[in-house]
Amino acid sequence: WRILAGREGRSVMANDASEAGIQRRQFLVRGAAATLGLGLGGGLAKPAWTAPDEPRIRNYRPLGRTGLEISDISFGSSRSTDPALVTRALELGVNYFDTAESYKDGRSEEAIGQALQGQRDRVILTSKVKCETDTTSDALMASLEGSLRRLRTDRVDIYFNHAVNDPDRLRNDAWYTFAERAKQQGKIRFTGVSGHGGRLGECLDLALDENRVDVILCAYNFGQDPSFYQRFTSRMDWIAVQEDLPRIIEKAHAKGVGVVAMKTLRGARLNDMRPYETGGATFAQAAFRWVLSNPHLGGLIISMKTMEQIDEFVAASGAPAPSAAELDLLEQYLLGSVDGYCDHGCNACEPGCPHGVPVSEVLRTRMYATDYGDPEYAREDYARLSPDAEACVTCADHGCLGRCPHGLDIPRLTSSAHRWLARPGTRAG
Q: Does the pLDDT of residue 362 top 70, yes or no? A: yes
In this prediction, residue 364 carries a pLDDT of 75
In this prediction, residue 230 carries a pLDDT of 58
For residues 349 and 21, the answer to whether their CB atoms sit within 8 Å is: no
257 or 363, higher pLDDT: 257
Q: Does the pLDDT of residue 43 top 60, yes or no? A: no
Most confident among 83-92, 282-291, 313-322 (mean pLDDT): 83-92
Q: Does the pLDDT of residue 429 top 50, yes or no? A: no
In this prediction, residue 328 carries a pLDDT of 84
108 or 47, higher pLDDT: 108
Q: Mean pLDDT over residues 376-382, rounded?
A: 83
Q: Does the pLDDT of residue 363 top 70, yes or no? A: yes
pLDDT in tens, 164-174: 989 999 999 99
Q: How far is CA 109 from CA 76, 80, 337, in A?
A: 11, 10, 32
Query: 278 — phi, psi (to 5°)?
Result: -80, -5
Task: Please tell me which residue in 60, 96, 103, 368 is annotated as part of the active site.
Answer: 103
For residues 225 and 238, the answer to whether their CB atoms sit within 8 Å is: no
Q: Does the pLDDT of residue 143 top 80, yes or no? A: yes
Strands 11-13 and 3-5, by their bridges, are: antiparallel
Residue 103 annotated among the catalytic residues of the structure = yes
Q: Does the pLDDT of residue 338 top 80, yes or no? A: no
Beta bridge partners of 7: none
Q: Does the pLDDT of residue 23 top 90, yes or no? A: no
For residues 262 and 330, the answer to whether their CB atoms sit within 8 Å is: no
- Cβ neighbours, 10 Å, residue 384: 12
Q: Mean pLDDT over residues 265-270, rounded?
A: 73
18 or 2, higher pLDDT: 18
Q: Does the pLDDT of residue 427 top 80, yes or no? A: no
Confidence of residue 242 (pLDDT cuts 50, 70, 90): low
Beta bridge partners of 111: none
Confidence of residue 64 (pLDDT cuts 50, 70, 90): very high
Q: Mean pLDDT over residues 78-101, rounded?
A: 97
For residues 210 and 252, the answer to whether their CB atoms sit within 8 Å is: no
244 or 225, higher pLDDT: 244
Most confident among 193-207, 238-252, 301-315 (mean pLDDT): 301-315
Q: Does the pLDDT of residue 29 top 50, yes or no? A: no
2 or 55, higher pLDDT: 55
For residues 113 and 152, the answer to whether their CB atoms sit within 8 Å is: yes
Q: Mean pLDDT over residues 377-386, rounded?
A: 85
249 or 7, higher pLDDT: 249
Confidence of residue 271 (pLDDT cuts 50, 70, 90): low
Q: Does the pLDDT of residue 302 top 50, yes or no? A: yes
Q: How far is CA 394 from CA 36, 310, 416, in A?
A: 41, 43, 12
Confidence of residue 14 (pLDDT cuts 50, 70, 90): very low
C-alpha to C-alpha distance for 209 and 168, rounded to whole angstroms: 15
3-state secondary structure the chain: CCEEECCCCCEEEHHHHHHHHHHHHHHHHHHHHHHHCCCCCCCCCCCCCCCCCCCCCCCEEECHHHCCEEECEEEECCCCCCHHHHHHHHHCCCCEEECCCCHHHHHHHHHHHHHCCCCHHHCEEEEEECCCCCCCHHHHHHHHHHHHHHHCCCCEEEEEECCCCCHHHHCCHHHHHHHHHHHHCCCEEEEEEEECCCCHHHHHHHHHHCCCCCEEEEECCHHHCHHHHCCCCCCCCCCCCCCCHHHHHHHHHHCCCEEEEECCCCCCCHHHHHHHCCCCCCHHHHHHHHHHCCCCCCEEEEECCCHHHHHHHHCCCCCCCCCHHHHHHHHHHHHHCCCCCCCCCCCCCHHHCCCCCCHHHHHHHHHHHHCCCCHHHHHHHHCCCCCCCHHHHHCCCCCCCCCCCCCCCHHHHHHHHHHHHCCCCCCCC
Kindly report the average pLDDT of the chain as a whole number. Answer: 82
Please tell me the least confidently modeled range out of 38-42, 196-200, 265-269. Answer: 38-42
37 or 365, higher pLDDT: 365
In this prediction, residue 405 carries a pLDDT of 73
In this prediction, residue 22 carries a pLDDT of 42
C-alpha to C-alpha distance for 222 and 241, rounded to whole angstroms: 11
Q: Does the pLDDT of residue 140 top 90, yes or no? A: yes
